[in-house]
A and B are shown apart, each in its own frame.
Chain A
Amino acid sequence: MDALMNFGTGIFGGAWPAVWTLIKIVLIVAPMMLGVAYLTYFERKVIGYMQVRIGPNRVGPWGLIQPIADGLKLLMKEIIVPSGANKGIFIIAPMLAIAPALAAWAVVPFTDSLVLANIDASLLYIMAITSMGVYGIILSGWASNSKYAFLGAMRSAAQMVSYEISMGFSLICVLMVSNSLNLVEIVNVQDQGRFAGLGLSFLSWNWLPLFPMFLVYLISGVAETNRAPFDVAEGESEIVAGFHVEYSGMAFAVFFLAEYANMILVSALTAIMFLGGWLSPVGFLPDGILWLFAKMSAILFLFLWFRATFPRYRYDQLMRLGWKVFVPICLIWLVVVGVWMMSPLNIWK
């Protein structure tokens, strides 16, 4: 590592720290994009098998080249700007959708030392950045000058603002028990406790004492990423394709990438906040980045499983779930955790 640093300083001089950060950003974003591509393949295969089909199997062995072929196809297609559309915003909207999904990765820790920016308030940063993802959807709906797109945008705006509240409340419980806003610290705290001492550290992760919050966060995460059964913003059977109905070619592909990048982000955050991040579930196995990837994959599989299982929520039921079920549960559990921490039974000392 030192040799690499000296080599870099020799070539770039004073600009080396900036170049080194750029290299690290590429090292995070490039595998993520590849992950997005193969998540689409995984989704088609998983849903295929769940529906007793085979799924993509023509391009390459077992259809493995399919996502690359899809990407190339979309890259070659023309981007059509509808007449009467607000051109500038129409082009900017997909970028606004994907930028927060990528920017949030700046503070996501992969192990306790492998993190791009280990800032003090990384949890707040994540909440702030991900809350901006909704603009891409609203603006695309408005700028398309299309009724269906506008309906999708309106639905999505109301939905994401509602579910952000329950998501925020569940994260408040996490930061209360971890006594920190730093994601590395949040994971390290989950490694302590009675069960961790017995070598059963998966029982001392946050999911068990904060079980209702874990469920609320997971379900709100599905809603925040506009995935089935909360995909009313797209709602193929009701409003054609919702907010991106007028988009074609690469502009559409960017929306697609943003959705899947957001799914990977939410699964990474769920793994870090509630499932112990890179910690190994049992004492005799070493911690490591592979555990984080395994947990993320399991949660991503849940996302796909939901899509193959549940019918879409009706809009009023979706709003009811957010405001009348999740928000009260969060408020109650917030008080429960507060009382628990102040009582002699406190397990987070």
Chain B
Amino acid sequence: MDFQTAVFFFLSAILVFASLRVITARNPVHAALHLILAFFTCGGIWALLQAEFLAIAIILVYVGAVMVLFLFVVMMLDINIDRIRQGFWNYLPLGALLGLLMVLEMGLVLGSKYFQVPAAEAMVPAGVSNTKAIGALMFSDYVYPFELASLILLVGMIAAIVLTYRGPKHSKYTSPNLQVFVKAKDRVRVLQMPVEKD
């Protein structure tokens, strides 16, 4: 077993453990933390495949931004884990069926000829920047799917704002713009008064 394989098995073991803990941890914050660990390890495995751009992107986007907000929400919720677990045995058959289906689908995809690329062929020749190659492909061959995906994301973003928007607030409000640009002249008036003589 060469070094790379050893690292792969090490990372995979952590990934499987972390993923299991995500669904078994009793504390939702612990579950979220294990999800972060899972993303990070996943980035490690991608880096092992010489896909350094994807590896760094998953850490930058998921670990650095998405999970921060996720943790933010999970911390503020008061989740009663026992009540959530009540229906476990009722839902188990349906869940198991879905799980089996997903395993089957993944097996079909991974077993197809598109994934049977020899390792030597998949290796990137030295001196080619991963990021540049992905960027060039993204804005040439895949420009329409890419723009479509960003459009869908934009629609999702606007939809989320519309769903949570509760109409204009009629509370007292001072514009920070006016506050920031305030001058001493506007607030304090220096008066020249004649000295009162009596």
Contacts and interface: CB of A to CB of B under 8 A. Distances in A.
A317 B130 contact: no
Contacts of B176: 316-317, 320
A258 to B, nearest CB: 16
Nearest to A314: B176
Given A121-B130, A142-B29, A316-B176, A157 B68 contact: yes
A135 B64 CA distance: 9
A132 B131 contact: no
Given A135-B68, A317-B180, A142 B75 contact: yes
Interface in A101-148: 119-121, 124-125, 127-129, 131-132, 134-135, 138-139, 142
A207 B96 CA distance: 58
Contacts of A86: 27, 29
B64 A131 contact: yes
Interface centre among A127, A132, A157 (most CB of B within 10 A): A132
B52 A121 contact: yes
A298 interface: no
Given A316-B176, A317-B179, A320-B176, A121 B63 contact: no
A159 to B, nearest CB: 11
A181 interface: yes
A259 interface: no
Contacts of B150: none
Contacts of A135: 36, 68, 71
Interface stretch (B53-61, B158-166, B189-197): B53-61
A290 interface: no
B69 A124 contact: no
Contacts of A128: 56, 59-60, 63-64
B100 interface: no
Interface in A176-212: 181
B158 to A, nearest CB: 16
Given A121-B131, A127-B60, A138-B72, A164 B52 contact: no
Interface in A228-257: none
A257 B138 CA distance: 41
Interface in B105-148: 129-131
A243 to B, nearest CB: 12
B56 A121 contact: yes
Contacts of B177: 320
Interface size class of B (residues with CB under 8 A): 20 to 34
A164 B130 contact: no
Interface in B47-93: 52-53, 56-57, 59-60, 63-65, 68-69, 71-72, 75-76
A23 interface: no
B61 to A, nearest CB: 9
Contacts of A158: 72
Given A125-B56, A128-B60, A317-B179, A120 B68 contact: no
Nearest to A182: B129
A134 B68 contact: yes
B98 to A, nearest CB: 32
Contact of B56 (A89, A124, A164, A317): A124
Contact of B59 (A132, A154, A157, A316): A132
A92 B33 CA distance: 12
Contacts of A124: 53, 56-57, 60, 131
B27 to A, nearest CB: 8
A138 B71 CA distance: 8
A121 B72 contact: no
B53 A121 contact: yes
Nearest to B65: A161
A269 B115 CA distance: 40
Given A131-B60, A317-B180, 6 more contacts: A120-B129, A120-B130, A134-B64, A138-B75, A161-B69, A181-B129
15 contacts: A86-B29, A120-B130, A121-B53, A124-B53, A124-B60, A127-B56, A128-B56, A129-B59, A131-B64, A142-B29, A150-B75, A153-B75, A181-B129, A181-B131, A320-B177
Interface of A: 86, 89, 119-121, 124-125, 127-129, 131-132, 134-135, 138-139, 142, 150, 153-154, 157-158, 160-161, 164, 181, 316-317, 320
6 closest Cβ pairs, A-B complex: A131-B64, A128-B60, A128-B59, A124-B56, A128-B56, A142-B75
